[in-house]
Amino acid sequence: MGIFTVRDAIKLSEERGFDLVEIAPQAVPPVCKIIDFGKFKYEQQKREKIQKKNQTVSILKEIRLHPNTDVHDFDFKAKHAINFLEEGNKVKVSVMFKGREMAYTEKGEELLNRFIERMDDLAKVESPIKMEGRNMNVILAPQSKKGKKK
């Protein structure tokens, strides 16, 4: 509509029965709109609600192993990881070392690599294998969001 003084803009908005709303206060001159403010707030809340609804929350589930974890236990924990990944959650696989096991960290790395191979078709490695204190961790994220609907 052009550039108006504040008084003229307020007068114009009152004549039309709407509110004068400042849209961009940092602009020179500031940008204002003549709109129904109640309707504007309602539509804004509606947009925010839709955005919140479409937003996905990923949960980090943890699976703990030891360097001498047996084959059956490994398979059992792998099945749990598969369920977590199908639900759309991330999985943190940790190998915990106690006492003298710290001397055999390559055994833990081998175990994590085997776990990654098992999950190859369902997950991708989000953060590589790394040692944090007495734990060796890797984080796996689901490859597709299709499992979320189940």
Average pLDDT, the chain: 87
Same domain for 48 and 65, yes or no, is no
Domain with 36, as residue range(s), is 6-54
Structure-block tokens of residue 68: 């001498």
CATH number of the domain encompassing residue 85: 3.30.110.10
Query: pLDDT, tens digit, for every residue of 119-136?
Result: 888 889 988 899 999 999
Specify the pLDDT at position 46. 93
Kindly report, residue by residue over 47-96, the tens digit of the pLDDT: 999 988 887 777 889 999 999 888 999 999 999 999 998 888 899 999 99
**CATH classification of the domain holding 25:** 3.10.20.80
Residues 37 and 84 in one domain: no
pTM over 0.75: no
Task: Please give the helix or strand (H or E) that residue 120 lies within, else none.
Answer: none
Query: Which pLDDT does position 42 carry in this prediction?
Result: 92
Check whether the bond before 29 is cis (ω within 30° of 0).
yes
119 and 79 in a common domain: yes
Residue 1 within any structural domain of the chain: no
CA distances from 39 to 45, 83, 97 (A): 10, 45, 60
**Confidence label for 145 from pLDDT (cuts 50, 70 and 90):** low
**pLDDT for residue 149 is more than 50:** no
21-30, 63-72, 102-111, 139-148: range with lowest mean pLDDT: 139-148
73/36 same-domain check: no
CB count in 10 Å sphere of residue 22: 11
Q: Are residues 34 and 65 in the same domain?
A: no
Give the strand pairing for 60-65 and 90-96: parallel
Q: Do 14 and 84 fall into the same domain?
A: no
Residue 127 domain flag: yes
Residue type, 18: F
Tell me whether residue 80 is in a domain. Answer: yes
